[in-house]
A and B are shown apart, each in its own frame.
Chain A
Amino acid sequence: MSLLYFPGCTLKNKARNFDASTLEVFSALGVELAELERWNCCGTVFSMADDDLMLQLAPLRNLLRAEQQGGGELLVPCSMCYNTLRRAQRFAAADPERLGRIRDFMYDEPSAYRGDVEVRHPLAYLRDRVGLERVKQAVERPLGGLRLGAYYGCLLLRPSELAVDDPARPRVMEDLIAALGAEPVEFGQRAECCGAYQTLSWRAVTLRRTYEILGSACAAGARALLTSCPLCAYNLDQMQREAVKSYPDLCAMPVLYFTELMVIAMGLGWKPEWSALHEVDPQPVLDAAGA
């Protein structure tokens, strides 16, 4: 079967490993992802302020594209893009009058958005459509009980209407970890903010968040973290080198996209160039799978 797929900008540059591993994993599970044609930036940041209709154009145009290309479900792995597009989906459904104004502005499009698109995150899709049991069956190299922390951050869980799981007690990523033969560890900061774009404006805040989140995971016994957000990955992984200067006792550990972990466990081809996209070498995780 084939599913429309929205990669988002970051998956085309800094998070190429997220893009590639998502494609591989889904293909191995029998779901062919068809990249949306003529997609544009999800519209993050801008569209979160909903006082200006202009800023809803980017996400809605993506939904319209999906509709023009068959509609139905649209798979969006990046937490940020997911959050933005899912919000837009709800906005369009909830406020027909303002949607009408946007449609009017988009007169150059061959069709107007009807609301036929369901934005889905792969974690939810794996749980609800593919089934974690199937994932389990597809595991070739179980992860030998490696202790892993699932880091949700903000965007997969908040606001609650968009959450991929129970925002107070999420478990979808933990269940996935278990299905892959590793041991999930829950830790206190798994749904706290990573510092997000403070990296650009107020770096100290992010450095402290990096330190605390990693510390929390470490204390719970995690050897590596999983994420579905390139920004979180940046703050938690790439920033470790800088953070250790301020916090010499920082607990270093690799940070992987959950799809990368699936590639490893399912015995699909890990690409050496993915390692180069990580600051902290993910080799220990590969070793655990005997890969």
Chain B
Amino acid sequence: MYPESMQESIRKVEASRARRIELALSGKPVVEPMSAEQRQDVLDRFHPDYQDDARREVRWGPNAGQRLTTEVADLLETYARVDPSDYDLLEPDFDTDVLVIGAGSAGFCAALLAQEHGARVTLATKLRLGDANSMMAQGGIQAAVRDDDSPVHHYLDVVGGGHFDNRPELARALVSEAPDAIAWLRRKGVMFDQEDDGSLKAKPGGGTCRPRMLSARDYTGAAICRTLRDEIQNRPEIRVLEHSSAIELIKDARGRVAGAVLYHLLTREHFTIRARATVMATGGFGRLHVKGFETTNHYGATADGLVMAYRAGARLLYMDSVQYHPTGAVFPPQILGFLCTEKLRGMGGQPVNADGELFVYPLEPRDVEAASFIREATELGHGVSTPSGHVGIWLDTPVIEKLNGAGAIEKNLPAMLRQFQRFGVDIRSEPILVYPTLHYQNGGIEIDVECRSTVEGLYAAGEVAGGIHGRNRLMGNSQLDLIVFGRRAGRYAAAFAGTAEPAELSLGHVLEANRRVGELGVDRDRISPLVLPDYVPERVKRRQHDTRYRGTLI
């Protein structure tokens, strides 16, 4: 399947394989992990975040004056999609105790727990239930369950991986509730991989000092998310609104967040919903294609929650840091940017250059690993080019079969096997070509351990929230944070809703935000939230005479 032009390099990879397997069998790291200084050097020089144009100052709002990722700053300096005068806020269309926005695993957990704590719950989501990053997680979820591991080890890994910027109390809640979160998921019927003695299979992950990655084959996110979705659908008391994208938060006379404006993607109607507490669970921002990168994220990952919360006055944290997953697919072109799970490396897969040589410890934290790949392919010129003009480095997957026994890939990595097989590459016998791809929003809406944002009435959980992972999340800790903080958000939001008295609704903050953005002289056509990315070709747009593009087509 690989074209002739790539074959020569593949032969070199094959030639060095036996030697590399021997190295791996020694039990020691195949390449010495980097020191703090080495890490800093490769990040400074090669990580996309550290380049001059990667960040700029945002000029208004709760984070005014801070340097944020350029695309994020651009997004925060846009006009609202709604015109506040269009809505009769005295007569909202729906009324609820807890409104959960976003139906990934964080939203599901929040909705379930809020309902269990006595709240009337409405769950509104952009596309269908589970069209979400949560469904896509392959490699695993962290929890310190082995005897030689503990929440203490886990904590160290979390804060070291996050460059010590994590909010300590959030990191502590994350690691302390991890085993319980897994036990809860098992009671809901999630099937985790197990050893013969019943203990949960744990594999090493990038930046972990112990094997701690629990998994459900390489459909870990799907196994969790589809179980939670099924449970949501078993509770008819939870009102579910699909194709209902939140396009602005509503506040009340006391300045609390008190609901949202929803836009129905199919009927194009707008609805208003009043809520005593609102949980933002809209996930990440991969579809902003920061710095032009391909992304692993789902179609609706357009950072809507960030901009809505920002307009409502919520402070953001660490929105200057972007996670590039080291191993995005480069070949074949149909799957450009798709994720190749870190579990491939957790099970022994080795990154090697065009000459078949190892050049980095396979399980550095993601930012370090990604930056090393970029160095290898650019500065050192040891990358491999594809016919369509992309460059990558090899991830030698056949090693996995050699280290774990024949059949290991089919059993533990069926999604990966299938993904490449569909396009004619057999990862059991051929290496795959990879390069960093835009993966995860490290920061987000600032929260405390009760998932409260800096605005009363607004809670946040999941990828949209910031602080837990500092400036770099480790693999498997996101799936974990969805459960830990999703459940917390539901519980605390329900408790808050029980005490909150409704007051008069208002979209005044939107007018104010528009005014501030107007003062900056921003082009009137720049609006948000984006809702969906704009993939309509220019050729088509030119003929759509009755459609106005404002941010995106919708």
Contact between chain A and chain B defined by CB under 8 Å: no
